[in-house]
């Protein structure tokens, strides 16, 4: 049954993705505003199809422009986070050349950073600055790679430094920064243990297609996303202080989601409603 499930889901994903690419390419060609929002609808459809159940703790801040700084676990993160609000990702330059996923990343309007080229980094900063000027939401994976799903890796100040440079180039008086933690917590409604959690993580030298097949063979998985208080770029003296502060907040929230420790309190500035925790979000909802 698990193989049959994977086959059915694979065919469904191929169909949904093929239609989605045509629609998004058309929206780009016509230069319609819906090109920003359609990827969110696509990701919500994929979440429902795969069985990704998203529990949102906190709320994405209303402030714009907004940098969401997150840990990174799996290729699933893109669909999970992309289903929340219209947003774009900051990705490594090599992602742009990946088969299929590179196309999806471009259609998501991702900003690609070439860390080995000064000219490429400058172009990426300029592109990111333009997105910030336009008041967009940008997701930055500050670890620079993905983990095994059991921990948060140290944040790289150089990655946050590139974002900080883009903020300066955008000439905006302030850009909101919000920490975000993502964790895969349950499968078939049962708590995932430390030994099983890396099953959903895509890291190291894992081959992508076998990993996707393995995920599709198994049942629904619950994903928790926790959002912390909003900061301003001016709150930090330099990029190293920024990296340490955000890493600490993301690690605390991740630990709370995975191991059940109390979540850190959220400031008024980071809330959308009256409570710290919103009701569980189900992909495809409002």
d(CA 271, CA 60): 8
Per-chain mean pLDDT for the chain: 84
Contacts of 31 (CB under 8 A, 6+ apart): none
Count Cα atoms within 13 angstroms, Cβ side, for 195: 0
**What is the rounded CA–CA span in Å between residue 151 and residue 147?**
7
* Secondary structure tally for the chain: helices H, strands E: 8, 9
Chain centroid to CA 246: 15
Q: Give the pLDDT band (50/70/90) at residue 128.
A: confident
The per-residue pLDDT for range 75-106, each reduced to its tens digit, is 999 999 999 999 999 888 888 877 777 888 88
- Asked if the model's pLDDT at residue 282 lies above 50, the reply is no
For residues 18-45, give the mean pLDDT.
95
Three-state DSSP string of 176-236: EEEEEEEEEEEECCEECCCCCHHHCCCCCCCCHHHHHHHHHHCCCEEEEEEECCCEEHHHC
What is residue 280's predicted lDDT score, i.e. its pLDDT?
37
pLDDT surpasses 90 at 115: no
Q: Are 38 and 24 in contact (CB under 8 A)?
A: yes
Q: What is the mean pLDDT of residues 136-148?
A: 92
Indicate whether 267 pLDDT > 60.
no
CB-CB contact of 176 with 188 (8 Å): no
Global pTM reads: 0.86
d(CA 264, CA 284): 28
* Token couple for 184: 């895969």
Residue 190 burial (CB count, 10 A): 11
Quick one: pLDDT band at residue 147, thresholds 50, 70, 90? very high
Q: Tens digits of per-residue pLDDT, 195-253?
A: 888 888 888 888 888 888 888 988 789 999 999 999 987 788 788 899 999 999 999 99
Predicted confidence at residue 269, as pLDDT, reads: 35
Q: How far apart are CA 13 and CA 17, in angstroms?
A: 6
């Amino acid at each position: 049954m698990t193989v049959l499930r994977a086959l059915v889901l694979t065919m469904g994903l191929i169909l949904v993705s093929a239609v989605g690419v045509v629609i998004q390419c058309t929206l780009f060609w016509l230069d319609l505003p819906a090109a920003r929002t359609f990827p969110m609808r696509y990701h919500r459809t994929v979440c429902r199809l795969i069985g990704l159940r998203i529990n949102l703790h906190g709320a994405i801040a209303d402030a714009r422009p907004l940098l969401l700084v997150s840990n990174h676990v799996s290729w699933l993160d893109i669909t999970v986070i992309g289903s929340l609000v219209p947003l774009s990702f900051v990705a490594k330059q090599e992602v742009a050349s990946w088969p299929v996923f590179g196309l999806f990343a471009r259609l998501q309007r991702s900003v690609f950073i070439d860390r080995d080229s000064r000219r490429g980094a400058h172009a990426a900063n300029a592109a990111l600055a333009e997105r910030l000027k336009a008041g967009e939401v940008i997701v930055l994976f500050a670890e620079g790679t993905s983990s095994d799903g059991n921990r948060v890796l140290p944040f790289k100040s150089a990655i946050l430094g590139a974002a900080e440079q883009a903020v300066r180039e955008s000439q905006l008086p302030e850009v909101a920064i919000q920490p975000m933690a993502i964790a895969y917590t349950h499968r078939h409604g049962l708590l995932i243990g430390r030994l099983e959690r890396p099953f959903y993580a895509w890291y190291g030298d894992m081959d992508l297609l076998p990993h996707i097949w393995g995920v599709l063979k198994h049942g629904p998985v619950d994903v928790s996303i926790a959002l912390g208080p909003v900061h301003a770029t001016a709150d930090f003296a330099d990029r190293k202080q920024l990296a340490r502060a955000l890493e600490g907040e993301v690690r605390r929230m991740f630990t709370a989601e995975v191991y059940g420790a109390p979540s850190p309190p959220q400031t008024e500035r980071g809330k959308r409603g009256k409570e710290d925790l919103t009701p569980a979000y189900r992909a495809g909802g409002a």
